Amino acid sequence: MRIGIIGTGVAGSLLAEGLEGFDVTAFERVAPGDQAEAGTGLNIGPNALKALRLNRTARHAALRAASLPWQRWFIDLADGTRLFNLDLREVAEEPGVRIRWSELYRLLRAPVAGCTRSAHALEALEEDAAGRLVPVFRTPGGLVRDGGFDLLVGADGRYSRLRSLAAGEPEGTLLGVCIWRLLVTEAGDCPYDDYGQWFNGNARLLSFRVPGGAVYIAGTFPLGIDRQIPDAMKTAAAQRALFTPADAPPCPAVAWMLAKIDAHVAEIHWARSAIVPVLRHALDGRALFLGDAAQAMVPTLGQGATQAVECGVIAANVLRAGGDAAAVATARDQRVEFVRQFSMESSDTLLPPVDVQAGTAKKRQPDYLAKLRKLYTEVV
């Protein structure tokens, strides 16, 4: 069986590595060694680490070596009042990781470089006489084809070209919040380390240290009725007003982040949180979708890349055992549905009229912690 993988991000790289020995070719839009588009940092959940520990020992070790452990999750108000403080080991078998995007892509792409054609961006889809899919790629030298594939895997992310060619453009649903990201590289004086969230009303800062002396900061705030991000909000002054408590000074952590926003507002990447409906396969099972291409979700629990890890590892196991796209759906879709619903449920405090203190109190209750335990440990 000839398998083509579109995209060597998280899911695609892990799938290609897991199918070593099979007839696999991966196609990646970016040029070799170019991780420039992957600018910031991320946290990857303990469930992804468990999937790697049980299935890919070398990748697990490489990820640990290139990252800091994600061991704690605390939630404060912007004045420093602590609402929630969880040691992840209470609900997981091992910590997650905090890592830079560029490092994550580098260490996942390295083992599959031999089967990857870089600077190949999927553009169109054709069929050969045997009914096999023939992807058409844009390369620096023009359009190229590489023959027919029995199975084509869309691991090309949230705006999957394969998905739109095979099944039409998916209709996204906006959550109604803006999410921005910033990587601060001169962060020696940062007053915190592990994963924290700071709320002022429903506006939230999220931040943690990543390797190399850098700090990742993400800001979230509710959008108005038309769901657009007003230009007026993309200024340091507007962000300072958003995250400064009305009746108290900001705590040292928030004050530090506000100073970094002042200095780096031009580097901030602005986006809107959205989900798309799950689609695991199309074209009678000849196209299979993994990671964001199949299941883009809200980033609230940090499960996007984490689920892409699970997808890459589990799909490789299923295909190695002779399974098809429908078998991957059986192995993945119930789990993904649980994670998507739990991520939405956990987004409650990002939107009015939910009161942050009451919403956070719910996260200390046994039923929420039981769901976290299921999320972090029940990896197939």
Ligand X SMILES: Cc1cc2nc3c(=O)[nH]c(=O)nc-3n(C[C@H](O)[C@H](O)[C@H](O)COP(=O)(O)OP(=O)(O)OC[C@H]3O[C@@H](n4cnc5c(N)ncnc54)[C@H](O)[C@@H]3O)c2cc1C
Which residues would be at the binding site for ligand X (CB under 6 A)? 6-12, 27-30, 42-44, 121-122, 155-157, 161, 179, 181, 218, 271, 291-293, 299, 302-306, 308
Q: Which is nearer to ligand X, 95 or 157 (CB)?
A: 157
User: Do the beta carbons of residue 292 and residue 157 sit within 8 Å?
Assistant: yes
Q: Which is nearer to ligand X, 10 or 83 (CB)?
A: 10
Q: Which is nearer to ligand X, 245 or 279 (CB)?
A: 279
Tell the smallest beta-carbon distance from residue 366 to ligand X (Å). Answer: 25
Angle, to 10 degrees, between the axis of helix 366-377 and the axis of helix 325-345? Answer: 150
How many Cα neighbours within 13 Å face the side chain of 180? 22
Calpha distance 222→225 (Å, rounded): 9
Q: Which is nearer to ligand X, 155 or 329 (CB)?
A: 155
Tell the smallest beta-carbon distance from residue 32 to ligand X (Å). Answer: 12
Tell the smallest beta-carbon distance from residue 78 to ligand X (Å). Answer: 20
Q: Which residue has the tokens 């295909």?
A: 319
Q: Which residue has the tokens 């409906």?
A: 277
Query: Which parts of 223-369 are beta strand (E)?
Result: 269-275, 281-282, 287-289
**φ, ψ dihedrals at 374, nearest 5°:** -60, -45
Tell the smallest beta-carbon distance from residue 247 to ligand X (Å). Answer: 30
Q: Which is nearer to ligand X, 80 or 84 (CB)?
A: 84
Calpha distance 329→318 (Å, rounded): 10
Q: Which is nearer to ligand X, 74 or 79 (CB)?
A: 74
Return the structure tokens found at 88.
Answer: 């992840």
Tell the smallest beta-carbon distance from residue 299 to ligand X (Å). Answer: 4
Q: How many CB atoms lie within 10 A of CB 234?
A: 15
Residues facing residue 99 across a β-bridge: 42
Q: Which is nearer to ligand X, 202 or 300 (CB)?
A: 300
Q: How does 303-341 read in b/e, with b if 16+ C-beta sit within 10 Å? A: bbbbbbbbbbbbbbbbbeeeebbeebbebbeebbeebbe
Tell the smallest beta-carbon distance from residue 37 to ligand X (Å). Answer: 7
Tell the smallest beta-carbon distance from residue 309 to ligand X (Å). Answer: 8
Residue nearest to ligand X (CB): 9
